Amino acid sequence: MLRRSRAPRTGTPADLLVVGLGNPGEEYARTRHNVGAEVVELLAGRHGAKLKKGKERARVDEVGIAGKRVALAIPLTYMNDSGESVGLLARRYGVAPEQVVIVHDELDLPVAVLKVKSGGGLAGHNGLRSIKSHLHSDGFQRVRIGVGKPVTKERGADHVLNRFGKRERADIDVAIEDAADAVEMIASDGVDPTMNRYNARES
């Protein structure tokens, strides 16, 4: 029987590794590309974590959710190199790709629409592409937050670096709370029940 290989662990093992994607630096704070990082910041606040810079090119801490050991992380790499950090984190916590939850922005979803996905395509997201390359798998879980497509001729790469309008921001703040709830449900109930709950909701 073929066993699934895991990265050699370098630290305390975790049940789940939750990574919020974004770009580092104040100039990118609260942009469309950084909604994943905002979710992990919220989760850290909910569970009393203090995200600190570690060797894995990320701010990271561990929390307990539903009796599970959960590592929370925000890479300090730029979005397109997110896999460098995620690969190191997966090794540190001894997790398989299926134990990794990536929270990220999604151009293909309307603003503030939330969907949960297990494995599959990358929808042209360079951060996910980098993660797949470093984990050698696309089997990781995703919590996807819609940021909408550009309504002008603006390129998608420029659109995601913009901030939300006032009305969109209010909706996104609710979606970020919902995304944090979804991560907690993945920890407590697993990804399939979480997909059933969140993906069946009306946009």
For residues 175-189, b (16+ Cβ closer than 10 Å) or e, as one string?
bbebbbbbbbbbbee
pTM, rounded to two decimals:
0.92
CATH of the domain at 115: 3.40.50.1470
Note whether residue 133 is domain-resident.
yes
Note whether residue 129 is domain-resident.
yes
Provide the residue range defining the domain that includes 179: 16-199
* pLDDT at site 157: 77
Mean pLDDT on 169-181: 98
Radius of gyration in angstroms for the set of CA atoms belonging to the chain, rounded to a whole number = 16
Note whether residue 165 is domain-resident.
yes
Whether residue 93 contacts residue 116, with contact meaning beta carbons closer than 8 Å, is answered with no
Note whether residue 145 is domain-resident.
yes
Note whether residue 87 is domain-resident.
yes
Tally of domains within the chain: 1
Model confidence pLDDT, tens digit, residues 91-102: 999 999 999 999
Q: Is 33 one of the annotated active-site residues of the chain?
A: yes
State the number of CA atoms in the 13 A half-sphere of 168 facing the CB.
16
Note whether residue 77 is domain-resident.
yes
First-to-final CA distance of the chain: 43
CA 37 to chain centre: 7
In this structure, the strands spanning 58-65 and 52-53 are: antiparallel
Binning pLDDT at 50, 70 and 90, where does residue 11 land? Answer: low
Note whether residue 99 is domain-resident.
yes
Note whether residue 11 is domain-resident.
no
Catalytic one of 33, 125, 134, 159: 33
* pLDDT at site 115: 97
117 dihedral zone (left: phi>0; alpha: psi -120 to 50; beta)? beta
